[in-house]
Amino acid sequence: MMNPEVNVYFDQLKQWKPELTVLRKLLLESELKEEFKWSTPCYTDQGKNIVLLGTTKAYCTLSFVKGALLTDPENLLQKAGPNSRSVTYIPFQSVEEIYKIEVSLKKYIQEAFTNERKGLKVAHSKEEQWEIPLELLEKFNSHPELKTAFFELTKGRQRGYLLHFSSAKQSQTRKARINKYEKRILDGKGRLDCICGLSKRMPNCDGSHRKNQI
């Protein structure tokens, strides 16, 4: 069933509308429920997020929240980023590309649905425990420069941000934290890095900016 909020989203689309319309039709033909989360169409089952639609300047995407579990016999899936151990996506730049692999896409969507029904989970080692929250992935889709800047940070700085963003229980709080630190990431700074130039413990902040304000 079509979600009214997703209808509004499609009415306002200025790019990739034909492609996303075809992808939406495939998803509506599946057993997934259409919802609207993180300002993007999200397809769920029993409250679990399974597939998302997204856009960038270069292409639109069909993303699988637990894509790492898919068998991917045709090598279609791409990682959302070097630190993403679960989410994968397929990029599209034309309707023809979608129609060419339509049968395969239906199989991938069905497999994702079945995996969720089985309760399958993506295994993470201690080194891989910092999964990128969906809110940040959505931000990357709409702001490719932020994605580039984030992955140019050191691994430690990336982990610091991911821990801070993911520790929020509510989606709105996660989005607020991401927005708060957007400029800092674009400037190549970690969450706890000094940005005023007054710290005696560079690159870390030691609170000197507060002393200077007294």
Tell me phi and psi for residue 61, to 5 degrees: -135, 150
* Residues 101-122 pLDDT 10s: 999 999 999 999 999 999 998 8
Tell me phi and psi for residue 73, to 5 degrees: -65, -20
Quickly state the pLDDT bin for 12 (edges 50, 70, 90): very high
Cα–Cα distance measured from residue 162 to residue 212, given in angstroms and rounded to the nearest whole number: 30
- Higher-confidence residue of 141 and 94: namely 94
Instruction: Reply yes or no on whether the pLDDT at 206 is more than 50.
Output: no
User: Cα separations (Å) of 135 from 30, 37, 74, 140?
Assistant: 24, 9, 28, 9
What is the pTM for the complete model shown? 0.67
Quickly state the pLDDT bin for 214 (edges 50, 70, 90): very low
Helix residue spans in the chain (DSSP H): 4-12, 17-28, 95-100, 102-117, 134-142, 144-151, 155-166, 171-186, 208-212
Q: Rounded mean pLDDT of 86-115?
A: 97
Q: What percent of the chain has pLDDT over 70?
A: 86
At 53 the three-state DSSP class reads strand
Quickly state the pLDDT bin for 203 (edges 50, 70, 90): low
Residue 147: half-sphere exposure toward Cβ, Cα within 13 Å: 19
Structural domains of the chain ordered from first start = 4-117 (3.90.1150.200), 143-214 (no CATH)
Residues 6+ apart with CB under 8 A from 15: 55, 57, 60
* Residues 157-172 pLDDT 10s: 888 899 899 888 888 9
The mean pLDDT value of the chain amounts to 87
Residues 6+ apart with CB under 8 A from 26: 98, 102, 105, 106, 109
**Token code pair at residue 135:** 């809110």
Instruction: Reply yes or no on whether the pLDDT at 198 is more than 50.
Output: yes
Position 199, amino acid: S
Instruction: Reply yes or no on whether the pLDDT at 6 is more than 70.
Output: yes
Q: Is 177 exposed, middle or buried (0-12, 13-18, 19+ CB in 10 A)?
A: buried
